[in-house]
Amino acid sequence: MAEYVHQPITGPQAFRETGTAAVESQAALLLLLGRQLRGDDQALAARAAAADMSAAIEAVPSDDLAQFPVPRLRPSRDRVGVTLVETRLAERFGARIVRRATIPQEERPDVLGDLAQTLFERSEPVAAAELMEASLRSPDELTRVAAAAAYFELSTRPKRLITILVRGTRSEDTLVQTVAATALARIAPEHPRLRQMTRAKTAGSAGETSHSALLVHGTFARSHEWWQPGGSFHSYLRNNVRSDLYAAGDRFEWSGGYSDAARDVGARDLRTWVENRNLQGLDLFGHSHGANVIMQATKFGLRAGALVLLSCPVHVPKYLPDFGRTTKVVSIRVHLDLVILADRGGQRFRHPQIHENVLPIWFDHGASHNPEVWRDNNVPAML
C-alpha cells in the first residue's frame, strides 16, 4: 500500500525531518502560504457570498488548521525581488546556497528548518519568499514543486518556476505529477505539456454486465489505469462494491482538460453518453474535477442516482449538482488535499444535502481511489 500520512508534522519541525510525513507537510505549508499571499480563500468566499451560499464551502477547514497551524499572512500584490532574497540567504548561510541547484540533505534541516522558524516568528512576505526560494533547492521533488507553485505570484523571476513545474509533471510519483500539473494549469494554461497529459488511451473492456453505475476520471487522468475497465480501482469497485459498474469498452471519458470549458464539454458529453445508452438514473463516481463534471451534468439535464464525489475541489456556486436530479450526494476526501490546495479550491462542502466524509489521511489526492484505503476505512459503508 502507498505510504500515507496519518499525522502531519507541524511548524518548522517539518523542514528539519525527512520522510513522507515531513515532505508532504512541507508541501502543504508552502501551498497554504501561497494561497494566503494570493488571497485565494477570500476570492472563494466572495464568489460564494455573491450567490448567497457562504455557508456551503469550507476553503481551509478550521479543524485542520488547529492540527496544522500556519503563519498568517495578508494578501500581497507586491513581488519580492529575487536579488534581495538571494542576498539575505547568502548573508545568513553563505554565498554557495544561491549557487547550488540542490541543498545537500545533511544541510537541509539547518537551512530550511531555520528559515521556517523565522517565518513562524516573523510572519511577513519576505520571510515567506526566503523559505520558498530556498525550498526550490530542496532535495525533495514535492517540496520543490510546492515552492514553485506558491512562489509564482510573489517572485520577480517567475518564468524559472514553470521549468520546475513542467519537470514535476514528468515525475514517477503521481502526487508530485498531479500537484505540478494543477499548478502549471493555473499559471500557464496553454502550456503544451498540459495537452500531452490529456491524450486519450485505447479503451479496454472488463466484460459485459448490467449497468447502473459509472466511474469518471479527473483532470489529467484520462490515460491512467485505475479508472479504466480492468484497472485497479475500477476492478475493486466492480468486484466488491458495485457489480453493475459499467465495464464495456465504450465507457465514458472526457478530455481531462483543466478549465471550466473543458468540464462543461465533459458534462454535456456525459449527458449525451447516458441518453444514447438509455442509462438514466446511473449512480456516478467521480474523482477530483471529474466529480465536478458529474455535478455539472445534472445541471445540464442529466437525471442521475447517487453522486459519489472523491477528492472533489470545492468551487461554489459554479459546481454544485441539481439536487432535484439526483437521489443522494456523498463526498469522500482527505485532510488538506495538496492538489486541491494547488487548484486554489475549497477543501470541503458545508451543504446540508452533501454528506461529507473525511478519511484519517492527510494530503494525498489519490488516496480516495485506492482500493486498500477503501478496505481499511470501510468506505463502502459511507455510500
Residue 202 belongs to some domain of the structure = no
Are 89 and 229 members of one domain?
Answer: no
Residues 378 and 233 occupy one common structural domain: yes
For the four alpha carbons of 145, 149, 155 and 156, in that order, the dihedral sign comes to positive
Secondary structure letter of residue 311 according to DSSP: S
C-alpha cell at 233: 480501482
Q: Are residues 31 and 88 in the same domain?
A: yes
Same domain, yes or no: 111 and 218: no
Q: Which residue range is the domain that position 111 belongs to?
A: 11-195
* Dist CA 10 CA 8 (whole Å): 6
- Specify the pLDDT at position 70: 97
Band the pLDDT of 203: cuts 50, 70, 90. low
Comparing C-alpha atoms, which of 310, 305, 321, 292 is closest to residue 226? 310
| pLDDT tens, position by position, 207-240 | 555 579 999 999 999 999 999 999 999 999 999 9
Burial, 324: exposed, middle or buried (Cβ in 10 Å; 0-12, 13-18, 19+)?
exposed
DSSP 242-268: -TTB--STT-------SSHHHHHHHHH
Work out the average pLDDT over 295-324: 97
When divided into structural domains, the chain yields a total of 2
pTM for the whole structure: 0.95
Same domain for 22 and 149, yes or no, is: yes
Residue 204 domain-assigned?
no
Residue 339 lies in a domain: yes
- Spatial separation of the C-alpha atoms in residues 262 and 254, rounded to whole Å: 8
The CATH number of the domain where 287 resides is what? 3.40.50.1820
Task: Select from 147, 169, 195 the last residue of a domain.
Answer: 195
- Pure H helices in the chain: 20-38, 40-50, 62-67, 82-93, 96-99, 108, 114-121, 125-135, 141-151, 159-169, 174-187, 192-196, 232-236, 260-276, 289-299, 338-343, 371-376
Q: What is the pLDDT of residues 121-149, one digit of tens each?
A: 999 999 999 999 999 999 999 999 999 99
